[in-house]
Amino acid sequence: MATSSVGFKSREEHRKKQELEEARKAGLAPAEIDEEGKEINPHIPQYMSSAPWYLNTEKPSLKHQRKWKSDPNYTKSWYDRGARTFKADKYRNGACENCGAMTHSTKLCIERPRKIGAKWTNKHISPDEKIESFELDYDGKRDRWNGYDMNQYARVIERYEARDEARRKFLKEKQLKKLEEKSKKQRVDEESSDDDDEDDALKLDEAKVDESKQMDFAKVEKRVRTTGGGSTGTVRNLRIREDTAKYLLNLDVNSAYYDPKTRSMREDPLPNADPNEKFYAGDNQYRMTGQALDFKKLNVHAWESFEKGQAEINMQAAPSQAELLFKNYKAAKEKLKKQMKETIMEKYGNAASKEEIPRELLLGQSEREVEYDRCGRVIKGMESSVPKSKYEEDVYINNHTSVWGSWWKDHQWGYKCCQQTIKNSYCTGVAGIEAVKEADDLMKTNIERKANSYEMSGPVTEKRLATWGSETQEDLVLDKKKLAEALKKEDERKREEKDERKRKYNVQWNDQVTPEEMEAYRMKRMHQDDPMKNFLH
């Protein structure tokens, strides 16, 4: 992915490379490793990962994207503002005459000019400034925010917040004062009604509402973009912050792959941990538990039904209809199983419903005494031996649970566990038996439906068509001579259309079209659906 080789690759090699890249992006294959042993992100585009041809890189690498011409002598640091170094007790020769510091002259002193300088008073000598000299790199010279202290802006914010707080407090006190004065005036006035008193009391209470509730109106909500346009609303992160992230459960590089684009980790990051203690076992555990299995069975039923001719079942177009048909199918299947069980019991009887066999015969009791320990080992006496033959017994192959010859159907031997009649077949269990029964039932229903469709279909009427499929009158009779003349005229007209020089100056048009001319036009015109149209002209 990150190589610069431009050698020729066959179609098979190109296909294998694309499959490997897709597997890496899906997390099924390990990521590519560069020269330094670091993994290369498979989602990096090719125009970024491929190195230029003049670098002659033999192994995949992303070194060409890094800054490889950096000078270690350059720095991005800044001056230590306001730092002081040494403070002298006496005035020194060559120092500033105003403050007494050695690091600047009297002309460049930034202190307030004293009435009598430190050179003459020899008191209050200022400490020397810290002088630094370093070479800035390209970015350091052009960085406008180099040396900026963020705490300075925090102090600006605090000052503005204090001002807003004082303004709100002043407005609140002013509003309360007005309402109190108004209530006093209304109490003095005897003609005021009780309703006015209640309104004023309500307004006074509203003014005394908690300040935090009043500030809710000024809350700034984050704007979220949607497909239908912008809409305001708070964005919530439903992940609990105390939970450990998936990619931090196992820091081993060769552990389960975490896809940052989809935030998914399909494999188990801790496969050897105790299942009772771990709360996360990979995203694949949700696909094989709960309602995911029922949904998978529903999808499989819809696919199989569509492949076998039932086009009305479609999970994407009508999911509710597909689910209802699957439910009816399971009910019919259970009903069929129950009927089959009842017919077998009626024909052969039910051995489980008869009288129980005596316990002595069932357990094979005898007078022989055998003593066992808690683990089931024989301590005293001899355990009853099972008779063996010279042939191999209980040897099962290909995941079968019964031997060959334990099943008989349609004059063929097979396995009882999966009812297969091929000796070297792999056991499919109960699922294989059910699949065969479902296929037989579905084939029968398809045959019956096809037979019914043939019976319901009516007689097919044939229409008389012209040369290119358009309908014509039943009593239409064409003259062969007139048709030949019309074909010649049509050829001449087409030649005139190709070469305008053959067209005459005075052209006379006849609006009346005969059936022979119409048939000649149909025979000579070009058809886009004609497979031989490229060979006609």
pLDDT at residue 87 greater than cutoff 50: yes
Average pLDDT over residues 349-362: 67
Tell me how many domains the chain contains. Answer: 4
Residues 159-168 have pLDDT tens digits of 999 999 999 9
Q: Which of 186-190, 250-254, 360-364 has the lowest mean pLDDT?
A: 360-364
Angstrom CA distances, 346 to 158, 339, 342, 437, stand at 92, 11, 6, 22
Report the distance separating Cα 410 and Cα 259, nearest Å.
Answer: 54
> How many residues does the structure list for the chain?
537
| Confidence band, pLDDT 50/70/90 cuts, at residue 231 | very low
Q: Are residues 165 and 84 both part of a single domain?
A: yes
| Confidence band, pLDDT 50/70/90 cuts, at residue 77 | confident
Q: Are residues 411 and 443 both part of a single domain?
A: yes
Report the distance separating Cα 344 and Cα 129, nearest Å.
Answer: 108
Q: Are residues 108 and 135 both part of a single domain?
A: yes
Please identify which residue in the block is written with the tokens 């005139």: 496
Answer for the pair 32, 42: CB distance below 8 angstroms, yes or no: yes
User: Is there a domain that residue 305 lies in?
Assistant: yes
Q: Which long-range contacts (CB under 8 A, 24 or more apart) does 196-200 make?
A: none
Half-sphere exposure of 107 (CA within 13 A, CB side): 0
Report the distance separating Cα 349 and Cα 342, nearest Å.
Answer: 9
Structure-token pair, residue 490: 């049509």
pLDDT at residue 310 greater than cutoff 70: yes
Residues 428-462 have pLDDT tens digits of 888 888 988 898 899 999 898 888 887 766 554 54
pLDDT at residue 223 greater than cutoff 50: no
Report the distance separating Cα 207 and Cα 173, nearest Å.
Answer: 9
Answer for the pair 454, 460: CB distance below 8 angstroms, yes or no: no
User: Of 160-174, 218-232, 366-380, which has the strongest mean pLDDT?
Assistant: 160-174
Answer for the pair 80, 148: CB distance below 8 angstroms, yes or no: no
User: Is there a domain that residue 466 lies in?
Assistant: no
Q: Are residues 59 and 84 both part of a single domain?
A: no
Percentage of residues in the chain with pLDDT exceeding 90? 16
Q: Are residues 312 and 399 both part of a single domain?
A: no
Report the distance separating Cα 447 and Cα 442, nearest Å.
Answer: 9
Please identify which residue in the block is written with the tokens 């590089």: 253
Residues 508-534 have pLDDT tens digits of 666 678 888 888 888 877 666 666 766
Report the distance separating Cα 216 and Cα 193, nearest Å.
Answer: 35
pLDDT at residue 72 greater than cutoff 70: no
Residues 284-296 have pLDDT tens digits of 888 778 888 888 8
Q: Looking at residue 118, what is its pLDDT?
A: 93
Q: Are residues 43 and 87 both part of a single domain?
A: no
Tell me the CA end-to-end span of the chain in Å, nearest whole number: 50
User: Is there a domain that residue 410 lies in?
Assistant: yes
Q: Are residues 24 and 85 both part of a single domain?
A: no
Range of the domain at 308: 291-348
Structure-token pair, residue 55: 């670098």
Structure-token pair, residue 293: 């299995």
Q: Bridge-partner residues for 259, per DSSP? A: 264
Task: Give the chain's largest Cα–Cα span.
Answer: 137
Segment holding 371, helix H or strand E = strand 371-372
Please identify which residue in the block is written with the tokens 């597909």: 322
User: Is there a domain that residue 222 lies in?
Assistant: no
Q: Are residues 98 and 34 both part of a single domain?
A: no
User: Is there a domain that residue 217 lies in?
Assistant: no
| Confidence band, pLDDT 50/70/90 cuts, at residue 230 | very low
Please identify which residue in the block is written with the tokens 């015969």: 361
Last residue of a domain, one of 9, 39, 65: 65
Average pLDDT over residues 139-161: 85
Q: Which of 7-11, 41-45, 327-331 has the lowest mean pLDDT?
A: 7-11
Q: Looking at residue 457, what is its pLDDT?
A: 60
Last residue of a domain, one of 451, 476, 494: 451
User: Is there a domain that residue 158 lies in?
Assistant: yes
User: Is there a domain that residue 355 lies in?
Assistant: no
Strand-pair category, 39-40 with 32-33: antiparallel
* Complete DSSP assignment for 301-323: HHHHHHHTT-TT--TTT-HHHHH
User: Is there a domain that residue 329 lies in?
Assistant: yes
Q: Are residues 85 and 167 both part of a single domain?
A: yes
Q: Which of 74-88, 205-219, 452-466 has the lowest mean pLDDT?
A: 205-219
Q: Are residues 60 and 84 both part of a single domain?
A: no
Q: Looking at residue 359, what is its pLDDT?
A: 64
Report the distance separating Cα 253 and Cα 267, nearest Å.
Answer: 14
Model-level pTM? 0.24
Last residue of a domain, one of 451, 466, 491: 451
Residues 387-436 have pLDDT tens digits of 667 777 777 888 888 888 888 888 899 998 988 888 888 898 888 889 88
Report the distance separating Cα 439 and Cα 445, nearest Å.
Answer: 10
Q: Are residues 95 and 41 both part of a single domain?
A: no
Mean pLDDT of the chain: 79
| Confidence band, pLDDT 50/70/90 cuts, at residue 220 | very low
Q: Are residues 59 and 81 both part of a single domain?
A: no
